[in-house]
Amino acid sequence: MKIRAFISGCAGHSLSTEELAFFERQHPWGLILFKRNCETHKQVRELVASFRRAVGRKDAPVFIDQEGGRVQRIGPPHWRTYPNARAFGKLYAINPGLALRSARSVGRLMAEELFDLDVTASCLPVLDAPQLGAHDVIGNRAYDTRPERIMSLARSHVAGLIDGGILPVMKHIPGHGRAMVDSHLDLPVVDTSRLELESHDFVPFTGFADCPMAMTAHVVYSAIDPDQPATLSRKVVRNVIRRVIGFNGLLITDDLSMKALKGSYKEKADLAYDAGCDMLLHCNGVISEMQEVADSAQVFNAKIARRAKAAMRLRRKPLPFEQKQALRELEALMSQ
C-alpha cells in the first residue's frame, strides 16, 4: 500500500460514497476533524473507524484542533468547554505553580475526551507570541506574550495531553504572533529583523524542538525570504525551522485552502515539498479540491516515513489521573 503524504478533511458527519472511494484510492496518511464532523460520541467514533477501514490502516492518525476557547471542535452538550490558552497566562501572573498544574490537568481532561473518540493528535500548543497591534487571529489563543511563559505553560498543557494518550502538534512554526492580517483571508508580511525574530518569536519553538509534529505559518518574513511564506520557503524551512530552531520532527503545512497561499494546489504542493515540508494539510472537505491535493501529494519516502513513525511511537496508553481534582481546576479556570 502506497501512503500519500497528506492529511485530508471530509465534509460531514459520515463519509459519502464519493469520499469513501477517494480515501480507498488515494490513501492519505491522516484525517482532520472539524466541528462540522462532530455531533455525538458514537457518530465521531464511526466516522473515524470508517476512514481507517477505507485507507486500510487501523492506526491511521486522526487530528483535531482542540485548543479550548474559540478554537474548539468538540463541545457542549456532549463534551466539555475549555478555557483559551490565555487563561493559563493570567493565572500564572498570580500563582505560577497553580497555573502550571491547571494547564496539565486541562490537557489531561482534553485527552480523555479525544482518546475516547479514537483521535490521535490535537493541534496544540499554539506557541505564537502575539505582539501589540497584531491581528487577533492569534490573540488569546496564545498562552502569554513572553516566550519563557509560553514555553512553561505549553510544556504543562502538552504533558497532560501525552499522559492521556494524545499527541501534540505545535503551531504555527516559526511564529504567527506579528501577523497584521488573518492568514485564513490574506497573506501576512512581517518586516521585523531576523535578530528580533530569533531572540523573541522563534524562542518558544526552539524550546519545543523535540515536539513530534509541527504545523507551519503562512507568513512572509521579509528579513529571511521576502518572496515566499514560511510554508513554501526553502530559506525558512531549511535554514530557520530545521537549523536555527532545530526541529527535526514531522513538518505539516497549515491548511493549503487558506487564502494566504496563491496558485493551484499542484503549485502549492510542489513548493511546500520543495521547501522541506513533509506533509500537506487540506481541511475544507471539498472533494474536488481534495482530489487536486491528492494528485499532487507525494508517496511516502524514507525520510517522511521515518519522521511519521517516530511521531506515532510517542503515543502511549493513558495514565491514571485524579479526574475530580482536574475538573475542579477546570471549573475554577472557567469561572475567572
Q: Which residues are catalytic?
A: 184, 254
Q: What is the DSSP letter of 298?
A: P
Kindly tell me the number of DSSP H helices and DSSP E strands found in the chain: 12, 13
Specify whether the CB–CB gap between 82 and 72 falls below 8 A: yes
Considering only CA atoms, which of 44, 41, 35 is closest in space to residue 67? 35
CA dihedral 222, 168, 245, 87 (to 10 degrees): 70
Phi, psi of 214 (to 5 degrees): -145, 150
Specify whether the CB–CB gap between 174 and 228 falls below 8 A: no
Considering only CA atoms, which of 101, 143, 86, 83 is closest in space to residue 335? 83
3-class SS of residue 33: strand
Specify whether the CB–CB gap between 160 and 107 falls below 8 A: yes
Task: State the cell numbers at 174.
Answer: 516559526
Integer Cα distance of 249 and 7 in angstroms: 16
Specify whether the CB–CB gap between 186 and 260 falls below 8 A: yes
Considering only CA atoms, which of 198, 181, 94, 75 is closest in space to residue 138? 181
Specify whether the CB–CB gap between 118 and 132 falls below 8 A: no
